[in-house]
Structure 1
Amino acid sequence: MTAVLFVCLGNICRSPTAEAVLRTKAAGMDLTVDSCGTGGWHEGEPPYLPAIEAAARRGYDLRALRARQISASDFHRFSHILVMDRSNLRDTLSRMPPGGTRPRLLLDYAPDLGKTDIADPWYSRDFDGALDLIEAACDGFIRTLQSQG
């Protein structure tokens, strides 16, 4: 089974959005999907309301999700760890135990966009722009999984 973990800073905007997008777009595929943050500031909290609202406008439901921090066991539980930006990648790599799944940027799956980072909408306020990038990258990730059989 393919297990996918999305990682952002606080797990209240980008990574829960990516979790909901992939779950919706990959419905019917044999996937386990989760999300977390590099920090634990929001542990147990729901996603940020503007993220919930932006996702809902496109048919994604984030309301049941709750923030959590990445753990060492995640590197062994998930076959794919996809992070939102280079800062999250550095933080996640610094926590990777020996033999763990190596994280990579989510936007690696949308190379035609010419971007590496999904800006944090907590700061940019561009929730729709983040969603555009997340949807494109999730589409690319699904194509990659399908091509691998």
Structure 2
Amino acid sequence: MTKILMVCLGNICRSPLAEGILRSKLPYEDFVIDSAGTANYHTGSNPDNRSITVGNKYGINISKLMGRQFSVRDFDDFDIIYAMDGSNFDNIIRLARHEADKAKVKMILNEVYPDQNYDVPDPYHGGTHGFENVYKMLDEACDIIAEKLK
């Protein structure tokens, strides 16, 4: 069983979308996919309604997911940890206890653009168009991730 964690800042926009998208592409019996935020602003909250709406548009229901904060324990619980942007990546790496922890952390868009370290932009302060763009970026990255893992 491969365990994958998607991480953004608040765990209500990008990472729950990434979680839902990747879950839709991989067999549930072989993979555990979860999401978390580096901050605790939205612990216990459902995803942003705009993320829920764009997910629903593509047949992905993330409405029941609950925000939680990334913790050191996640290094033990997950095989791969995908950061949505450089700030999230740095925050995760700061919590790493050793090189093995650090080796698990990747920038998600490096799946599409290897070694470029592009950020998935945070759509929180924008309109619905930003959520659509984020969905398309994450969908493309998750297609590549799923193909590698199958």
**Would you say same fold, with TM above 0.5?**
yes
Distance 2:105 2:117 in 1: 17
- Specify the alignment match of 1:104 in structure 2: 106
Residues 3 and 77, structure 2, Cα contact 8 Å, conserved in 1: yes
Gap runs ≥5 in structure 1: none
Residues 2 and 31, structure 1, Cα contact 8 Å, conserved in 2: yes
Deviation of residue 59 (structure 1)? 0.6
- Deviations along 1:108-127, one digit per CA (max 9) or x if unpaired, are 11128x77111001024300
Residues 96 and 102, structure 1, Cα contact 8 Å, conserved in 2: no
Distance 1:115-1:97 versus aligned 2 partners, 3 A rule: closer
Residues 4 and 33, structure 2, Cα contact 8 Å, conserved in 1: yes
Q: Which amino acid aligns with 1:134?
A: L
- Specify the alignment match of 2:148 in structure 1: 144
Residues 107 and 117, structure 2, Cα contact 8 Å, conserved in 1: no
- Deviations along 1:81-130, one digit per CA (max 9) or x if unpaired, are 00101111111111112242531101111128x77111001024300000
- Specify the alignment match of 1:21 in structure 2: 21
Please provide the CA RMSD for this pair: 1.6
- Deviations along 1:31-56, one digit per CA (max 9) or x if unpaired, are 00000000001000000011101111
Residues 52 and 62, structure 1, Cα contact 8 Å, conserved in 2: yes
Distance 1:19 1:28 in 2: 12
Deviation of residue 28 (structure 1)? 5.0
Gap runs ≥5 in structure 2: none
**114-123 or 43-52, which deviates more:** 114-123
Distance 1:28-1:7 versus aligned 2 partners, 3 A rule: closer
Distance 2:49 2:95 in 1: 29
Q: Number of matched residues? A: 145
- Specify the alignment match of 2:121 in structure 1: 119
